A and B are shown apart, each in its own frame.
Chain A
Amino acid sequence: MIPELGHLALVLALTLALLQGTLPLWSAVRGDPVGMRLAVSGAVGQFVMVTLAFGALTWAYVASDFSVANVATNSHSAKPLIYKISGVWGNHEGSLLLWVWILAIFGAAVAALGANLPLPFKARVLAVQGLIGAGFLAFVLFTSNPFLRLDPAPLDGNGLNPILQDPGLAMHPPMLYLGYVGLSTAFSFAMAALIEGQVDAAWARWLRPWVLVAWAALTFGIALGSWWAYYTLGWGGWWFWDPVENASFMPWLAATALLHSAVVVEKRDTLKAWTILLAILSFALSLLGTFLVRSGVLTSVHAFASDPTRGVFILALLVVAIGGAFAMFAWRAPMLRPGGSFAPISRESGLLLNNVLLATAVGTVLLGTLYPLFLDTVGGPKISVGPPYFDATFVPLMVPLLLAMPVGSLLAWKRGDLPGVLQRLRLAFLAALLAVGLALLLLGWQLLGAALGFGLALWLVLGALVDLAERIALFRVTPRQSLRRLRGLPRSALGVALAHAGVGLLVLGVTGATALREERIAALAVGEATALGSLQVRLVEVHQEQGPNYVATVGEFQAERNGEEVHRIRSEKRFFPVEGMPTTKPGILTSPWADHYYVLGDQAADGRWAVRLYREPLVVWIWWGAAVTGLGGLVSLSDRRLRVGAPSRARRRLPAGEGMAA
């Protein structure tokens, strides 16, 4: 009964979404407030209905109702409760329901929190949101219904892919979707602005909190995914430039650009058309990501099922949404009044440089991701574009961006004083140079790239600190005054410093884990040892253990230096009888300096075990850096001026706190 109620709720949600997507648009033109308010009720109603549907599916999973086909295919009664729940989105139908649910949450949030938005604008935003919802609800109902029944019901389910039975992965999809789908608000705000033909500072301030939420969630989601890949796949890698990773990374790059260009619209009332374009592009890339991942055109762990009708349906959604948006843009964007001008050396130019580089990076990643698909579709040779392509194109674009980052955030609006800014950054620059020199001394010239990477990381972290120090006038006024200034500092300024410092930490981690990584592949008998850098790693013993729903082969490793034990690590190979699948559970010892990562492989005919041993210096900073960056977004979100609902179009802009640093 409950699954049928869930199905019914979805049908009602579709009806509401259609209503929400059409009537308010018409009412906004006629100026009819009753019809416009319908958008609010529609968004809330849609949220309630999709929540019911999602709850119904979750109930079916928790209660192990195997008469529901989706549950029977993807769950098992012997699974721990957390994986029964995360199993809801560990499959195609359920993950789309999650997608739609989060979309409904964002719609309801705009309806509830956007009390300050002018009613016609709000009605239009919600109408666009409703149209997106209608498209995806139709997709779920017509091609991917999670509530289909099985008759007769099987006694037990097939289980969840064991590699997905992991706490990190339970969190990864909701986070990522929060980001992907959150960008739909940026899209709706952009479309509503295009319909009204008006983009101004107030619009940018309304947009900003939504982009920040989405961006921060996307940052966390990507970091979680990368971390998960690191500790489960057993290769010690953290980024593979896999098309599916790229699919989530491109919207992130575009959203990062959007976040920065929206600041220009807010402060200087310029770059409007470009910002609108970025808002459209960010969500378009999210949709593209959904298409790539869910349609089965790509082969990956994320491609749960490849059913051609689904692919065609998403492609149609993609074409309608993106095509419609670009047509709208081409029609309305020329009407946008250009704003203030700025000198080539100014904060605006810095942000523009950021935007151009990020957009170009999106382009190169997009090309590398789609080119093989394109060639295959037109009947060309089958190729794959591997990590070297992305390293060779992405890194050269990021280096100037990162080098310029501390400079850009210190430049004044409109006309900046480059020598003055460089003067203020000279200590940071000298420290970075010193770090390069020191690294060269320790590592040698053949690791010049690594030394430069460390220098860049320090430059970014110190640059962020200098930015902060300048704002609170550190050492120029008394410490107590500085402290007071720090307390009075707008949260957004703090957020920027955190986010930028986080990027520095990320660069530190990437450099260490890429350039200084040590790897050893060997076949060891029990008791035998092999060298990993300065360590002797011994396979002490191998035995069997019984887990809750798996059997594990456990390998105990012991590392010695000069005959003294340094650490012990256990690594497992697990076999899940229900699913009939093995997984690797690498033994990882994490420290801020280096991770030791040991993997037990297969047993050879002579009884030796294949082992893979890695030492990954500083790798943990990759995820800490990303977390700090995401946290910067959240801190910025808590800024009083940016809080949802703070600004209104009629009020004059508050005197900006940014004036201090500028």
Chain B
Amino acid sequence: MRLRKKQRLYLVLGSLILLGGAAALVLTALEQNVAFFVTPSQVAAREVPEARNFRIGGLVVAGSIEHAADGVVRFRLTDTQQEVPVQYAGVLPDLFREGQGIVAQGELEPDGTFRAIEVLAKHDESYMPKEVVDSLKDAGVWQHDGSGVPSQ
């Protein structure tokens, strides 16, 4: 019986240490690696998380896509209220096109350009990223009651 108690004690202690460690890992990782989602209107109002990556979602403005010679692509994203210039060095996903809802992750340059490190367009033409839909809805609300940019 004593052995069993001792065994249980070891078990509980070990699990506690492990859980504590895991919790610490999770908290620091969440703290550092969560990317907030921001709408073009929020970017225009500079309501963006400082000094960290975030995500921006919207529709690709028609006629705004430019492929530069150095492989950099420039385009503008809109939530129908505000537009944000985006630049991205890389190969765009297959379904990237004008009017398509996309999500980009990256950071805001001092000149107001969003430098994307990742551009996501999902693999279904009728599909609109949920964040973009919500951001368009938010934009609609903003238009109606004029109460300002939705706070994040």
Answer whether residue B50 sits at the interface, using C-beta atoms and an 8 A cutoff: no
Do residues B70 and A523 form an inter-chain contact, with CB atoms below 8 A? Answer: yes
CB distance from A612 to the nearest CB of B (A): 5
A367-B55 in contact (CB<8A): no
Q: How large is the interface on B (under 10, 10 to 19, 20 to 34, 35 or more residues)?
A: 35 or more
Which chain B residues border A301 with CB–CB below 8 Å? 122-124
How distant is B59 from chain A, measured CB to nearest CB, in Å? 16
Residues from chain B with Cβ under 8 Å of A655 in the complex:
none
Q: Is the CB of A389 within 8 A of B30?
A: yes
* B11 within 8 Å of A (CB atoms): yes
Instruction: Please measure, in the bound complex, the distance between the C-alpha atom of A641 and the C-alpha atom of B35, giving whole angstroms.
Output: 51
Shortest CB distance B52–A (Å): 11
Q: Given A299-B122, A383-B37, are A605 and B67 neighbors across the interface (CB < 8 Å)?
A: yes
Chain A: residues with Cβ within 8 Å of the partner, total of: 54
Quick check: A604 and B29 within 8 Å, CB to CB?
no
A residues less than 8 Å from B7 (CB atoms): 341-344
Cβ 8 A contact of B37, one of A234, A363, A367, A384: A384
Our pick among B3, B26, B36, B67 for the contact of A610 (Cβ within 8 Å) is B67
Asked whether B29 lies within 8 Å of A356 as measured between CB atoms, the reply is no
Inter-chain contact A583/B94, CB cutoff 8 Å: yes
By beta carbon, the residue of chain B nearest A163 is B123
The interface residues of chain A lying within 8 Å CB-to-CB of B19 are: 360
A residues 569-605 touching B (CB-CB < 8 Å): 573, 579-584, 599, 601-605
How far, in whole Å, are A392 and B21 apart by their CA atoms in the complex? 12
Known contacts A382-B36, A382-B131, A392-B32: A584-B94 contact under CB 8 Å:
yes
Partner of B91, one of A344, A381, A582, A602: A602
Bound-state CA distance A604–B68 (Å) is 7
What CA separation (Å) do A386 and B15 show in the bound complex?
A: 27
Nearest B-chain residue to A604, judged by Cβ: B67
Is A381 a contact of B122 with CB atoms below 8 Å? no
Let me know if B109 is at the binding interface, CB within 8 A: no
Nearest B residue (CB) for A582: B94
| Closest chain A residue to B57, Cβ basis | A382
Note all chain A residues with C-beta closer than 8 A to B141: none
Secondary structure class of chain B's binding surface, majority of residues: mixed
**Which residues in A have their C-beta under 8 angstroms from that of B127?**
299
Choose from B91, B124, B152 the contact partner of A612 (Cβ within 8 Å).
B91
Are the CB atoms of B94 and A356 closer together than 8 Å? no
Instruction: State whether A610 and B37 are in contact (beta carbons under 8 Å apart), knowing that A344-B10, A602-B91 are contacts in the complex.
Output: no
Report the separation of the CA atoms of residues A389 and B20 in the bound assembly, to the nearest whole angstrom.
Answer: 17
Bound: A353/B55 CA distance, A: 38
Q: Which of B32, B36, B37, B73 contacts A388, CB < 8 Å?
A: B32
A502→B91 CA distance, assembly (Å): 34
In the assembly, what is the distance between CA of A160 and CA of B138, in Å? Answer: 33
Which 4 residue pairs across A and B have the least CB separation, nearest first? A604-B67, A601-B91, A382-B37, A392-B29
Residue positions of A touching B, CB distance < 8 A: 161, 163, 234, 299-301, 338, 341-344, 352-353, 356-357, 360, 363-364, 367-368, 371, 381-386, 388-389, 392-393, 396-397, 521-523, 573, 579-584, 599, 601-606, 608, 610-612
Apart from A383-B34, A580-B125, A582-B95, what 11 extra A-B contacts exist at CB < 8 Å?
A: A234-B91, A299-B129, A299-B130, A356-B18, A381-B36, A383-B35, A388-B29, A393-B22, A602-B91, A606-B67, A611-B91
Interface CB pairs A-B, < 8 A, 24: A163-B123, A299-B127, A299-B129, A299-B131, A301-B122, A344-B7, A356-B14, A356-B18, A357-B18, A360-B19, A360-B22, A364-B25, A384-B55, A384-B105, A392-B32, A396-B25, A397-B25, A523-B70, A523-B71, A581-B94, A602-B91, A610-B73, A611-B91, A612-B91
